[in-house]
Amino acid sequence: MSIDRDSGSMPWSAEESPRPRRAVRPVDDAFYIPPAGFEITEPGTILRTREVGVALFGRITQQVDAWQLLYRTNDLDGRPQASVTTVLLPRGKSVGDMPLLSYQCAIDAVSDSCFPSYALQKGAKAWGAVPQFEFVLILHALRRGWAVSIPDHEGPHGHWGSPREPGFCTLDAVRAALSFSPLALRSNSPVGLWGYSGGGLASSWAAEMAPEYAPEINLLGAALGSPVGDPASAFIRLNATLHAGLPTLVVAGLRRTYPDLDRFIRQHVSPAGLELLDSVNELTTVSAVRRLARHDLDEYIDMPLADLLASPELLDIFQAIQPGKTAPTVPMLVVQAVHDQIIAVDDVDGQVDRYLDHGAHVTYLRDRLSEHLSLHPLSAPLTLDWLEDRFAGRPVPPTGVTTVWSTAFSLRAAFGLLAMLWSVVLVLFGRRL
């Protein structure tokens, strides 16, 4: 079966599921199980839909219209799988003829409690899931009058760190959202990508995969905040630091992605190390970072960590998971803190250099005063203005690298921050945006 991309019609008849009475983790939720025969559908086909309630931290109900779409996509090896995206509309907004923002959360975990489709639902018990903290910025973007798609870009199995697969999941979620009738979007509606940290990495893969994988999508720009740049470098640098839980989570995700890596790890990691890796499977990102602070993976292997990382098996994987080998064909905005304590500015410099060498159009802003956690909200007004300019067809800023004191140091950004503070008030009181 195939989708008529021009008309938006769906030969596959998507099932409509009832609104859930309570949030249920994906592993226990039948909604996430694709119907028989879904493999023969085209990527992006909607398989099942339902209305959901969304809430800040699972508690403060938000006055927005929200649905979940189970859709067909591909894994890293091109095998059919199903994932879920949460699509949002401002309540009371007349639908149709609006842009679509695809926001990739920093899932940064393998536990399905961190998938945004669960973490953003009313009643979700997901303390420490990063999407819950990002939800304020997503809702602020919704005030622009855009439709928003929030995909589970790690796929159904939590393939954190996987190359390309986040791009497939993201782009197929866009295809599903464009064909979802309640959004009333056109097949050529303008689309933008935005993500920060692990979400910036997922957005990088989506921008890189789009020209070949989904050329029919009218993608106009990609905003990448602190997009990791070199996961292997981050792995080495963060080990045995306060943020040692993050590289441990990456290993847990890559074990699921690469069976050969899992076998290699079992050969060289001690039983205590394997137990440690298994323990993060049920942890949210914040919980893993707190529990594994200053853990040194060198203590759990039968050879020096440097030698293990230099093995051909790991070198091939670390090379594969590095973004920037393919040039996106749309303009990109990249923001990065010079003094980032989690993602090294040199790694993002390298990713941008690879894009520029391939001829991509990149406006890269390096921020001197921010660090990893503060840059995302402080750069949000500038990022949203940049996306709005792309949707409106305004001239693209020059390509190149600029180091600034702060992305928030402009009159336009100051007004944007005030607007964002008002969004925070509305969200905290559950008022209509």
CA dist 101 and 104 (Å) reads 10
Residue type, 57: F
CA dist 312 and 318 (Å) reads 10
CA dist 260 and 421 (Å) reads 48
* 362-357-209-367 Cα dihedral, nearest 10 degrees: -30
Active site residue 153: no
Residue 267, token pair as written in the block: 């050969």
CA dist 147 and 14 (Å) reads 21
Q: Which of 108, 340, 347, 349 is catalytic?
A: 340
Decide if 43 contacts 83 (C-beta within 8 A): no
Beta strands in 152-303, from DSSP E residues, in sequence order: 191-196, 219-225
Residue 179, token pair as written in the block: 């064909």
Residue 416, token pair as written in the block: 């944007």
- DSSP assignment of 364-398 equals EEEESS--HHHHHHHHHHHHHHHHHHHHHTPPPPP
Residue 147, token pair as written in the block: 């439709």
Tokens 């008030």, located at residue: 425
Q: Is the torsion defined by CA of 369, 372, 376, 377 positive or negative? A: negative
28 alpha carbon, distance to own chain's centre: 23
Decide if 170 contacts 90 (C-beta within 8 A): no
Decide if 294 contacts 243 (C-beta within 8 A): no
Decide if 170 contacts 264 (C-beta within 8 A): no
Q: Which of 153, 295, 372, 376 is catalytic?
A: 372
Decide if 71 contacts 35 (C-beta within 8 A): no
CA dist 260 and 46 (Å) reads 33
Closest of 58, 83, 138, 141 to residue 106, by C-alpha: 138
Active site residue 9: no
Q: Give, as one character, the DSSP assignment of residue 311.
A: S
Decide if 113 contacts 26 (C-beta within 8 A): no
Q: Which of 197, 226, 287, 406 is catalytic?
A: 197
Active site residue 230: no
Cite the active site residues.
197, 340, 372
